[in-house]
Amino acid sequence: MNEHAQATGYNFAYLDEQTKRMIRRAILKGIAIPGYQVPFASREMPMPYGWGTGGVQVTAAILGPDDVLKVIDQGSDDTTNAVSIRKFFARTAGVATTTKTVEATVIQTRHRVPETALRSDQVLVYQVPIPEPLRYLEPRETETRKLHALGEYGLMHVKLYEDIARHGHVATTYAYPVEVAGRYVMDPSPVPKFDNPKIDDCEALQLFGAGREKRIYAVPPHTKVRSLDFEDHPFRVQTFKDPCALCAAEGVYLDEVVLDDRGGRMFVCSDTDYCEERREAGHRGHLAGDDPLSPVGRGRVAEGDRVREEHKSDSASPSPRPSPHRGEGEEALP
Amino acid sequence: MTSPLLTARGLAKNYGPRAACADVSLDLYEGEVLAIVGESGSGKSTLLGLLATETSPDAGEVHYRFRDDEVRDLLTLGEAERRLLMRTDWGFIRQDATQGLRMPVSAGGNVGERLMAVGARHYGNIRATAEDWLARVEIDPGRIDDSPKTFSGGMRQRLQIARNLVTQPRLVFMDEPTSGLDVSVQARLLDLIRTLVAELGLAVVIVTHDLAVARLLSHRMMVMKGGRVIETGLTDQVLDDPREPYTQLLVSSVLAA
Ligand SMILES: Nc1ncnc2c1ncn2[C@@H]1O[C@H](COP(=O)(O)OP(=O)(O)O)[C@@H](O)[C@H]1O
Ligand SMILES: [Mg+2]
Ligand SMILES: [Zn+2]
């Protein structure tokens, strides 16, 4: 037992060393075969599955004492989920934590990729509810494994075809399937498809952990990640009509926030850290007061006020649920 | 004379002590329709599964002449190649349409699946081809976005046919494609199959317990009993002048029916 363990009663980062080694082996295999889902012996964690136990186990396995941890949930560091995971590692590993993307070395995330470009000394760990992109049309696990092994991905396009046939465009806006390094098709977890281009050719290592489904997969730095599409319906990301109401950022993913009970609303950066950084640098949106610390100006909008469409809760079925984000304008090429 | 498209030698399959299929050999030529007839349980579907390499035999061989004229042993073919063959150069029409179709997917998606599987990536073209094929199997192209769940039994079978023929296969396996349908629906479907087979010059192995179906569609037939082929010949000859007592019984019971 190390010093830390003696002090806290936990092994460093909660999991025992043998378990961490097992998870690291799965991670290494995942890195060696980008986009391939590596089975691993997922452990019980002291939190429910919906809380991202897959991501937590991956984080526990890669965390070192000098790491600085950031946890994002829906773009925010302040949700109950994000706060408890951050506290969990502060307590069990004694690592420093931060809400700033630039300061973090390990970022565990649910539903977003940070707006700030990641660096090669950072690792992004995704919490994944449903890792199998083919499950929507092929529920049999033995068959999906075969389809991956043989690179038979026609079904993914059947899914996109159905989307266009029904809605006139590809209505899948979350967990939008990607082809990794020209080989495996992967579910990038329920991030908005807006974030897909950030997964491509990223400087940072990206790791994906699915606890309930016992799968780990990886996208090594600078890997080609291509969103699937049709020639006559090319992949496009969401764009927003107006810039962030608080920091005036454009070309970022916005959340709708209810301001009052009279229907007042605004669109603000989903990435709260990014928004704050910009306001600290002096950027002002049309609803930001002059005082960067005023309640609205600070942008620390309470979780309950954010209108979040849970396109994919952790237990939801992976069927495409088209409901364009309010305020989304046309879609643009990435 | 060209060599056969499909050749089977000594095919056998046992389930426990029971021989579901024993020592079956056959040659099938391009454009030829072969009917496999016999009572329920005689091993027809088992044989079809062996020929289509969906079931692995306990003994025997299956060879197929590919489009480049090379004849290859299907049992030594790699899995990827075998599956590619099945969804391009072959088709399989099942009695139970829900097993031959993707029920949660629209009619157009069902027809387009094979195209996408072999790399089609233009939505408009896939859709146009699907519409064309729906029309060819007498389904209103206006129903392209409808679910096959809303289709009648006859329409589902026709959709299965379109879904299989879209890659222009040379060989199609059919397992009781018309049974369970109303007589008038059966007649229309048989007529459609006969027309398409002739137009496209398809080779077909069709399993049926209905000798009238064999008479209407096939050039040659094989009679099975207890897993063995007991009589084989030109369809008209076998039906009009059966040699085996069992076949005589089969034919007469149909005539009596
Ligand atoms: N998967 C299986 N497992 C066990 N027995 C089977 C299986 N498939 C077929 N059989 C048996 O093999 C025999 C032939 O069946 P089958 O080929 O389905 O006949 P047919 O299609 O002529 O009705 C039957 O006795 C059947 O019960
Ligand atoms: Mg049968
Ligand atoms: Zn902002």
Cβ separation of A146 and B79 shorter than 8 Å? yes
Q: What is the DSSP letter of A47?
A: S
Residue B111, H or E segment: helix B107-117
Task: Work out the pLDDT band at A9, boundaries 50, 70, 90.
Answer: confident
Set out the domains of chain A in order of their start, with CATH numbers.
3-135+165-227 (3.40.50.11310), 237-332 (no CATH)
Q: Which residues have C-beta atoms less than 6 Å from ligand 1?
A: B 15, 18, 20, 38, 40-46
Chain A's closest residue to B119, CA to CA, is: A154
Of A52, A54, A211, A269, which is the active-site residue? A269
Strand A306-307 to A254-258 pairing: antiparallel
- Residue B76's alpha-carbon distances to B58, B66, B80, in angstroms, are 14, 14, 12
Return the SS3 of A274.
helix
Mutate to test the pocket of ligand 1, among B13, B14, B46, B179 (most ligand atoms within 8 A of CB): B46
Return the SS3 of B143.
helix
Cβ separation of A161 and B122 shorter than 8 Å? no
Task: Work out the pLDDT band at A297, boundaries 50, 70, 90.
Answer: very low
Strand A68-73 to A96-97 pairing: parallel
pLDDT given at position A4: 60
pTM for the whole thing? 0.89
Return the SS3 of A207.
strand
Task: Quote the CA–CA distance of A298 and B4 in Å, as a whole number.
Answer: 79
Return the SS3 of A303.
helix
Strand A178-180 to A96-97 pairing: unpaired
The protein residue whose alpha carbon is closest to atom 1 in ligand 1 is B15
Q: Encoding tokens for residue A83?
A: 């706060």
Task: Quote the CA–CA distance of A280 and A41 in Å, as a whole number.
Answer: 44
Per-residue pLDDT at A270 exceeds 70: yes
Q: What percent of chain A has pLDDT over 90?
A: 76
pLDDT given at position A197: 98
- Model confidence pLDDT, tens digit, residues A149-203: 999 999 999 999 999 999 999 999 999 999 999 999 999 988 999 999 999 999 9
Averaged confidence pLDDT in chain A: 87
The protein residue whose alpha carbon is closest to atom 20 in ligand 1 is B41
Task: Please state which of the ranges A64-68, A306-310, B41-45, B241-245 shows the lowest mean pLDDT.
Answer: A306-310
Task: Work out the pLDDT band at A263, boundaries 50, 70, 90.
Answer: confident
Task: Quote the CA–CA distance of A176 and A196 in Å, as a whole number.
Answer: 8
Specify whether A244 is catalytic.
yes
8 Å CB contact between A298 and A276? yes
8 Å CB contact between B200 and B137? no
Q: What angle do CA A112, A114, A115 make, to 5 degrees?
A: 120
Going by C-alpha positions, the residue among A326, A322, A331, A24 that lies closest to residue A173 is: A322
Going by C-alpha positions, the residue among B145, B151, B161, B154 that lies closest to residue B109 is: B145
Return the SS3 of A27.
helix
Strand B203-207 to B171-175 pairing: parallel
Per-residue pLDDT of chain B in tens (257 residues, 90 and over written 9): 689 999 999 999 999 999 999 999 999 999 999 999 999 999 999 999 999 999 999 999 999 999 999 999 999 999 999 999 999 999 999 999 999 999 999 999 999 999 999 999 999 999 999 999 999 999 999 999 999 999 999 999 999 999 999 999 999 999 999 998 999 999 999 999 999 999 999 999 999 999 999 999 999 999 999 999 999 999 999 999 999 999 999 998 754 44
Specify whether A202 is catalytic.
no
Per-residue pLDDT at A293 exceeds 80: no
Neighbours of B256 (CB within 10 A): 6
Q: Encoding tokens for residue A112?
A: 């977003």
Q: What share of chain A is helix, strand, coil (3-state, %, to 5)?
A: 30, 20, 50
**Which atom of ligand 1 is the closest one to the Cα of B44?**
22
pLDDT given at position A332: 54
As its CATH architecture, domain B80-218 has 3-Layer(aba) Sandwich (3.40)
A232 part of contact set with chain B, CB < 8 Å: yes
CA of B20 to the centre of ligand 1 (A): 6
Task: Quote the CA–CA distance of A160 and A171 in Å, as a whole number.
Answer: 8
CA of B2 to the centre of ligand 3 (A): 73
**Which atom of ligand 1 is the closest one to the Cα of B46?**
17
Q: What angle do CA A89, A94, A97 make, to 5 degrees?
A: 65
Return the SS3 of A209.
strand
8 Å CB contact between A113 and A124? yes
Cβ separation of B126 and A166 shorter than 8 Å? no
Q: B89, exposed or middle or buried, with CB in 10 Å at 0-12, 13-18, 19+? A: middle
Per-residue pLDDT at A256 exceeds 70: yes
Q: What is the DSSP letter of B3?
A: P
- Cβ-based contacts of A146 with chain B (< 8 Å): 79
pLDDT given at position A51: 81
Per-residue pLDDT at A3 exceeds 70: no
The protein residue whose alpha carbon is closest to atom 4 in ligand 1 is B15
Q: Encoding tokens for residue A197?
A: 């281009």
pLDDT given at position A47: 83
Cβ separation of A158 and B80 shorter than 8 Å? no
